[in-house]
């Protein structure tokens, strides 16, 4: 897979249309890397001239900030802003709602002002601009439920972009009893991803998986690498991995368009 970096573009004296912020999960986590690759295939199919930062990208500092380490967050932010501003980046897209949220909302006051898109928003734009067509035959008839990532939904009020895309896949979109504003967290947010949960009587991802399974889905769709991990673990816990898949919206499109 050929992916150009900002340094490559810079060497050619060119600017890409958009920077793809891969994020730490998307770069290193085996499951999340599949989402990254699916999104790259979509960008290529739609002929989007994009670049990544590659080895110049570093953690946004989001997890550190939610854990309470404002120092570390701002150090990361300022380092990243220096790189981004150095390349005169204007537009950023990312598959990670946490990166999306912090780049969009928390970087500006530190000197990093960009137009930031979550990949579901960007894909929706590609479709409405006629740059991307979705094959609605491949997945026809599947039952899909969408789990709202907190940092996309409540945190930024984006509920419709992912749903709009799912509807175009020719599938049956079913809603969980808790969805959109009232969606239940997968349990990973606020740096919980990196620690054991506090003592309780259940794991949050199991409770959320039960919400999803109640809709009898073939696929649980989401738009966040961390939600993906949590829901996948939940499905394994419920021993439903033979019947139910957890997929990112980018992966569903790649599958539908046979990329």
Partner 1 sequence: MQYLPNIFFALALATGIGFFTMNIRKLSRNIKLGKDVNRKDRKSERFKNMIMIALGQSKMVKRPFSGFLHIVVYVGFIIINIEVLEIIIDGLFGTHRIFQGVLGNNLYGFLIGTFEVLAALVFVSVIIFWLRRNVSNIKRFLSKEMKGWPKNDGNNILYFEMVLMTLFLVMNATDTPFQEASVGNPISQFLAPLFNGFSTEVLHLIERTSWWIHILGILIFLNYLYYSKHLHILLAFPNTYFANLNPKGQFTNLESVTNEVKLMMDPSADPYATLETGAEDEVPEKFGASDVTDLNWVQLLNAYTCTECGRCTSSCPANLTGKELSPRKIMMDTRDRLEEVGRNIDKNGGKFVDDGKQLLNDYIKPEELWACTSCNACVEECPVNIDPLSIIMDMRRYLVMEESAAPQELNMMMTNVENNGAMWQYSQQDRLNWAKEE
Q: Which of residues 205-224 bind partner 1 (CB under 8 A)?
A: 207-208
Of the candidate residues 203, 210, 218, 257, the single one contacting partner 1 (CB under 8 A): 203
Stretch that binds partner 1, among 64-72, 113-121, 234-242, 243-251 (CB under 8 A): 64-72
Helix H, strand E, coil C: the string for 96-123 is CHHHHHHHHHHCHHHCCCCEEEEHHHHH
Footprint of partner 1 on 135-154 (CB under 8 A): 150-151, 154
The rounded Cα 120 to chain-centroid distance in angstroms is: 8
Give every strand in the sheet of 219-222, ordered side by side: 172-174, 143-146, 219-222, 245-248
The number of residues that bind partner 1 (CB under 8 A) is 73
Nearer to partner 1, 76 or 215 (CB): 76
Among the listed residues 191, 244, 222, the one whose alpha carbon sits nearest the alpha carbon of residue 96: 222
CB of 173 to partner 1, least distance (A): 22
Nearer to partner 1, 47 or 182 (CB): 182
Measure the CA–CA gap between 18 and 52, rounded to whole angstroms: 9
Nearer to partner 1, 156 or 228 (CB): 156
Footprint of partner 1 on 175-194 (CB under 8 A): 181-182, 184-185, 187-194
Counting DSSP H helices and E strands in the chain, the numbers are 11, 8
Q: What is the DSSP letter of 198?
A: P
Q: Does residue 94 touch partner 1 according to CB under 8 A? A: no
CB of 185 to partner 1, least distance (A): 4
Helix (H) or strand (E) holding 126: helix 119-128
Residues 6 or more apart whose Cβ sits within 8 Å of residue 57: 21, 22, 23, 27, 80, 83
Of the candidate residues 42, 43, 46, 61, the single one contacting partner 1 (CB under 8 A): 61
Footprint of partner 1 on 237-256 (CB under 8 A): none
Footprint of partner 1 on 20-59 (CB under 8 A): 22, 24, 26-29, 33, 36-37, 40, 52-55, 57-59
Nearer to partner 1, 194 or 236 (CB): 194
Among the listed residues 78, 102, 116, the one whose alpha carbon sits nearest the alpha carbon of residue 190: 102
Of the candidate residues 45, 74, 135, 174, the single one contacting partner 1 (CB under 8 A): 74
CB of 244 to partner 1, least distance (A): 21
Q: What is the DSSP letter of 225?
A: H
């Amino acid at each position: 897979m050929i992916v150009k970096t900002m340094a490559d573009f810079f060497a050619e004296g060119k600017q890409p249309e958009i920077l793809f912020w891969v994020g730490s999960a998307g770069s290193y986590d085996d499951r999340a890397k599949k989402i990254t690759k699916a999104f790259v295939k979509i960008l290529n199919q739609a002929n989007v001239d994009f670049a990544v930062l590659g080895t110049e990208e570093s953690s946004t500092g989001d997890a550190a900030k939610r854990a309470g380490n404002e120092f570390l967050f701002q150090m990361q932010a300022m380092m990243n802003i220096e790189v981004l501003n150095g390349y005169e980046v204007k537009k950023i897209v990312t598959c990670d709602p946490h990166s999306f949220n912090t780049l969009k909302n928390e970087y500006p006051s530190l000197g990093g002002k960009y137009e930031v898109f979550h990949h579901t928003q960007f894909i929706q734009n590609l479709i409405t601009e006629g740059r991307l067509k979705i094959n609605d035959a491949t997945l026809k008839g599947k039952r899909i439920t969408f789990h709202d990532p907190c940092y996309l939904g409540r945190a930024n009020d984006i509920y419709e972009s992912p749903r709009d895309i799912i509807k175009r896949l020719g599938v049956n979109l079913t809603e969980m009893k808790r969805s959109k504003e009232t969606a239940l967290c997968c349990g990973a947010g606020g740096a919980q991803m990196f620690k054991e949960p506090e003592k309780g009587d259940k794991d949050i991802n199991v409770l959320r998986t039960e919400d999803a399974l109640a809709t009898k889905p073939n696929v649980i769709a989401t738009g966040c690498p961390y939600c993906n991990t949590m829901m996948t673990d939940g499905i394994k816990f419920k021993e439903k991995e033979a019947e139910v898949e957890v997929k990112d919206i980018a992966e569903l499109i790649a599958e539908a368009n046979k990329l």
